[in-house]
Chains A and B, each alone.
Chain A
Amino acid sequence: MLSVKNIHANIDGREILKGINLDIKPGEVHAIMGPNGSGKSTLASVLAGREEYEVTEGAVSFLGKDLLELSTEDRAREGLFLAFQYPVEIPGVSTTNFIKAAVNEKRKYLGQEPLDAVAFLKMMKEKMALVEIDQRLLSRSINEGFSGGEKKRNEVFQMAMLEPKLAIMDETDSGLDIDALRIVANGINKLRSPDRAMLLITHYQRLLDYIHPDFVHVLYNGRIVKSGKKELALELEEKGYDFITDDIDLAANQ
């Protein structure tokens, strides 16, 4: 589904990603972990098409298409979803209207008829129940005055509505208390399916207590330095990142 080959990326002339390789198949859940500044969010931004990042080398194919050639909106309409680490507050734009526009833009792109008001409301109701989000939040402006947990829940709700093929969750656990984390993680779990892949980006292991990944990768200094099964996350939790990164720093200095 997603094949990342030797991606190098810069921001403001500084190289952040230094050759990332990653293969994700339908139905798989991958977790990318790593210390602060290792390039986790940069990877998410590059995949979603944030223009400040310049890809200097490498290739990404998504469902057989050259992802890097697609605009941000086309990536979304092809089925890539980024749950933001810091969802943006947009005063004056109602959440419901925004999601309706997004759903119908995607349908248009795929050559489908737009959803009418009734069908859209029915879909909203189903997905609202799935991710446990309150109707009142959705009638407000996008994320305006939402708590941290409400913002993240809104991200998962949008993911439910847009039914992506690949969901990238950028630090979805950050800023959540334990109850909010559980609700958000439950929502994500309910959206797991054999034809949907997920890429979880996280600093801490605790999200992985709720969402069990198939694969865990450790990102350090712009490269994936270790990959394994979910046990790797537990090992990281126990020993800290140092047990991997020290070896690498040592090797680099020799």
Chain B
Amino acid sequence: MNNITYFKDQFEQLQEANPKGTIANLRQNGFDEFTKDGVPTYRDEDWKYTNVSSLFNKEYQIAENSSVTLVDVNALRLPGYKQANELVFVNGRFMANLSTIRSEATDLIVLPLEDAAKGEYKDIVAAHLNQSSNYLNNGIHALNTSFIDGGVFVHVLKGKEPEHAVYCYHILDARENPSLALPRSLVLVDESSKLQLTESYTTLGSSDSFNNQVMEVVVKENAYVEYYKIQNDVANASQVSSTHIRQIGRSYVHTVTITLNGGIVRNNMNLVLDAAGNETHLYGLYLLKGKSHADNHTLIDNLKPNCFSNQLYKGIADDTSTAVFNGRIMVQPDAQKTNAYQSNKNILLSENATINTKPQLEIFADDVKCSHGCTIGQLDEEAMFYLRARGIPKESAAVLLLQAFAADIIDQIKPEPLRSYVSKLIYEHLAIQ
């Protein structure tokens, strides 16, 4: 790896500046692990189809300073932003001056992670930050932990239904150098509260970017979470995006991950069902063209009884793109009466595109219902002929069928402004040949 020295220098500077406390300790452990494990290669089963080590051959800068302004932010606001809290991250750091918090402080708290780790939230941060390392024990995750700096803590207060949603805009400034961002966030969704969280990603400039993100979400009793991830960045923008959600009280989580563009995109979507009676829905859609590579790894760890989970991921791979789906469901000995369903459906549009799909069920309880299924097919020739026989040209017929294929995932985006926005993005994405 060319840039190990660079990481070491950067890490030491960071530790010298802030040598003490929970976060500094986590960083130290993270860096030790990173130096020990290194970056995963195709020899690691979990990274067999996704060559992240190739991302480390670039001269990245973990840039602290950036000239990103509100004008740049304006250009990438998502529809519905006027009713949302907008959190802006530049090169992985939370920028309070570019962010807009519209909710009342009695409903929603947004703090720099470092501040939260010191003040009244210090026990919460100590208890929940980096729980994800129990599941994501690899060098990529450890690298993010080594550089926890400028992260954010979000707390949706107990019994509050914030009137506003939370939009996270990740901006990577690659106008001068290849940019590496390592954003870290911790979100606590307290009892009986409700959160709608959306993340989007934008690289500025023409150099490569690499966003290695970890978000940890803790969901308490009777809370309700919708989580949307919209990945539509440029072709030389890569990311490993790890979302680690722990439902520690009986609660409801609904996630939708949309991947339309990018270089190498790896999503880790982990759900730890650590209370009886949890309900979880995971949806994903990847529509890949060019040389894009999208890898969705999902994990549902059923620790307690009577949990329900449903997963549906759908994808289309064209040109020389590659898609990977790995859906792992674990049912621990205590998790009796688990219901876990999983389905992955794919369409290959080109002879040079690749799809790898793998369900992975590990069941240690004896009274459970689990199912999985995956399909890889082509556009339905009969349907194509039917549409063309009514005068609809071949290209438009294909777009109609692909839109129809994508529709049941798009429909899972519940807020109307976001759904129309994504629907339009997808139409444009499919219609451009």
Which A residues have a C-beta under 8 Å from some C-beta of B?
48-51, 71-73, 75-77, 82, 84, 87-88, 90-93, 98-99, 101-102, 105-106, 109, 141-142, 158, 162
Contacts and interface: CB of A to CB of B under 8 A. Distances in A.
A75 B396 CA distance: 16
Contacts of A162: 390-391
Contact of A105 (B385, B392, B404, B408): B392
Contacts of B408: 92
Contacts of B382: 88
A93 B400 contact: yes
Given A73-B394, A88-B380, 4 more contacts: A49-B388, A49-B389, A82-B389, A92-B403
A105 B401 contact: no
Given A98-B400, A101-B400, A88 B391 contact: no
A92 B410 CA distance: 11
A93 B390 contact: no
Query: Which of B387, B389, B408 is the most central at the interface, judged by chain A CB atoms within 10 Å of its CB?
Result: B389
A6 to B, nearest CB: 25
Contacts of B404: 90-93, 141
Interface in B391-426: 391-394, 396-397, 400-401, 403-405, 407-408
B393 A73 contact: yes
A141 B383 CA distance: 12
A75 B400 CA distance: 20
11 contacts: A50-B385, A73-B392, A73-B393, A75-B389, A76-B390, A88-B380, A88-B383, A90-B386, A93-B403, A109-B391, A142-B386
Contacts of B401: 90, 93
A76 B407 contact: no
Given A92-B405, A93-B400, A84 B386 contact: yes
A31 B408 CA distance: 43
A87 to B, nearest CB: 7
Given A88-B382, A88-B383, A92-B407, A105 B393 contact: yes
Contacts of A99: 390
A83 to B, nearest CB: 10
B420 to A, nearest CB: 16
Interface of B: 380, 382-383, 385-394, 396-397, 400-401, 403-405, 407-408
A91 B314 CA distance: 15
A226 B181 CA distance: 79
Contacts of A141: 404
Contacts of B396: 101, 105
Nearest to A143: B386
Given A92-B405, A92-B407, A93-B401, A76 B388 contact: yes
A106 B392 CA distance: 8
Query: Which of B382, B387, B388, B390 is the most central at the interface, judged by chain A CB atoms within 10 Å of its CB?
Result: B390
Query: Which of A48, A51, A72, A141 is the most central at the interface, judged by chain B CB atoms within 10 Å of its CB?
Result: A72
A91 B380 CA distance: 11
A71 B395 CA distance: 13
B386 A87 contact: yes
B214 to A, nearest CB: 35
A90 B380 CA distance: 9
Contacts of A82: 389
B388 A71 contact: yes
A91 to B, nearest CB: 6
Query: Which of B388, B400, B407 is the most central at the interface, judged by chain A CB atoms within 10 Å of its CB?
Result: B388
A49 B383 CA distance: 14
Given A88-B383, A90-B383, A72 B403 contact: no
